[in-house]
Structure 1
Amino acid sequence: MQNASVFILMSVLLIILPGPDTGLATQNTLAAGKKGGFKTVLGGATGLMIHTLAVTLGLSSILVKSAFLFSIFKYVGALYLIYLGISALWSMRKKPDAQDEAPTSSYKHKSHFLQGFLTNLLNPKVAVFFLTFLPQFVKPGEATFWQFLALGLTYTVLTVIWFFFYVHFINWIRAWMKKPSTQRVIQGMTGIALLGFGVKLALEKQP
């Protein structure tokens, strides 16, 4: 691996940019607390590791070069994000007099890990990002397999570290938001954001 410090700096800057994983982690932390947020983050990290292995083994290049496969992943991923957004908005349906119950019951039996996992796994832009970003830090003439693996693992660990603090922060805010109406507003905002990311992904053209 070359320019390790530059890679870490660039990775951190890219990780903190808001994306579908940020919206989902926010939504699930507000709905289910730190436990839901951490499960979402671990699911997303697992998805990143699969993309890392795919890049390392050369499978992602096939996805990027095939318009058909790229479109399948793009639309399935977009539909899943749109589904999550609609689910968040749908969970806002509450009678105004239901003040004693926060709008979190609809998330009680949902798999937050699976949501985070599928959000990253079904996003072809992650594969494109890994294929264009990671090779810039691979040293020519050495074992590329282990270099790609190390870069992908480093990026995943940095992602988990950032979201560890992010989930704690969101949970701290959640502790001050006792009114169900306030939680519904925030949940609605994250739902709209997830819908927006889904539509944006669906309209994305193949690179």
Structure 2
Amino acid sequence: MEHYLLFIIVSCFLIMLPGPDMALATRNTLLYGQSVGLSTITGTSTALMFHTTAAALGLSALLVESALLFSIFKYIGALYLAYLGIRTLLTVKNQTAAQINGQPSFSKKYLSKKAGYFQGLLTNLMNPKVAVFFLTFLPQFVRSDNQSIVPFFELGVSHIIVNFILFSSYVLLITIFSLWMQKPAVQRVIQSVTGCILIGFGIQLALAGHR
């Protein structure tokens, strides 16, 4: 129980560190609303379940050991993050141009909850660093003499639940401040920063070493 509580505390700190998942949740909540933001983090949670299963069954070890597989996932994930970042910046550019021309700007755009879900799923699933994290983080809280995969799933599911609770709270917090954040000037700054952050994470992932 003591180790489990420590695991939960450490998970909370790690989850709240800025990363691609948080940047994407911010982007989709601001651009498309609370429901799409929640769908996005549901997709992230689904991807984390895949990573948990892969780590428990030893499949993540194959990814870590294979430089080719690691690179394939790494570059696909990096390109996808860069694509989302560029789309965000283009949205800002188009909305700013519309405002200059006297047209309505910075209104909520449409993205289906299904699309938001798959964005969250792919962003996390195609990041090999998440697989490495699960492969190295979870075993630290499992007894070395325990050969069962059950503890891996217990810890993995616990991490996913904590992740979903914290990210849901984050999305709701953004929604609470949405009136202030919907001001055109604020939107421009937040969306521009979020777009740059997504591109930055894409570059960081592309440059990440195999080990």
- TM value normalised by structure 1: 0.94
Match of 1:23 in 2: 23
Do residues 96 (structure 1) and 119 (structure 2) align?
A: no
Of 124, 129, 140 in structure 2, the residue corresponding to residue 125 of structure 1 is 129
Do residues 174 (structure 1) and 178 (structure 2) align?
A: yes
| C-alpha distance in 2 between matches for 1:182 and 1:27 | 13
Deviation of residue 182 (structure 1)?
Answer: 2.4
TM-aligned CA distance change 1:148 to 1:185, over 3 Å = same
Deviation of residue 80 (structure 1)?
Answer: 0.5
Aligned ranges 1:40-189 → 2 under 5 Å: 40-92=40-92, 93-94=94-95, 95-97=98-100, 98=102, 100-105=104-109, 107-109=110-112, 111-189=115-193
Confirm or deny: 8 A CA contact 2:36 2:112 kept in the other structure.
no
Deviation of residue 99 (structure 1)?
Answer: 5.9
Deviation of residue 37 (structure 1)?
Answer: 0.8
For the aligned residues, what is the CA RMSD?
1.6
Letter matched to residue 203 of structure 2: V
Deviation of residue 140 (structure 1)?
Answer: 2.8
| C-alpha distance in 2 between matches for 1:75 and 1:2 | 39
| C-alpha distance in 2 between matches for 1:17 and 1:99 | 38
Confirm or deny: 8 A CA contact 1:99 1:179 kept in the other structure.
no
Match of 1:196 in 2: 200
Aligned residues, how many?
206
| C-alpha distance in 2 between matches for 1:177 and 1:124 | 33
| C-alpha distance in 1 between matches for 2:127 and 2:195 | 18
Confirm or deny: 8 A CA contact 2:36 2:111 kept in the other structure.
no
Q: Deviation digits for residues 158-186 of structure 1, max 9, x if unmatched?
A: 00010111001111121223423421321
Structure with greater helix percent: 2
In structure 1, the residue corresponding to 2:181 is in which secondary structure? coil
| C-alpha distance in 2 between matches for 1:29 and 1:166 | 10
Confirm or deny: 8 A CA contact 2:99 2:105 kept in the other structure.
no
Deviation of residue 32 (structure 1)?
Answer: 1.5
Confirm or deny: 8 A CA contact 1:49 1:152 kept in the other structure.
yes
In structure 2, the residue corresponding to 1:104 is in which secondary structure? coil
Confirm or deny: 8 A CA contact 2:56 2:153 kept in the other structure.
yes
| C-alpha distance in 2 between matches for 1:108 and 1:101 | 17
| C-alpha distance in 1 between matches for 2:176 and 2:111 | 20
| C-alpha distance in 1 between matches for 2:60 and 2:2 | 22
| Structure 1: 5+ residue stretches without partners | none
- TM value normalised by structure 2: 0.92
Letter matched to residue 145 of structure 2: G
| C-alpha distance in 2 between matches for 1:155 and 1:177 | 30
| Structure 2: 5+ residue stretches without partners | none
Confirm or deny: 8 A CA contact 1:103 1:184 kept in the other structure.
no
Letter matched to residue 177 of structure 1: M
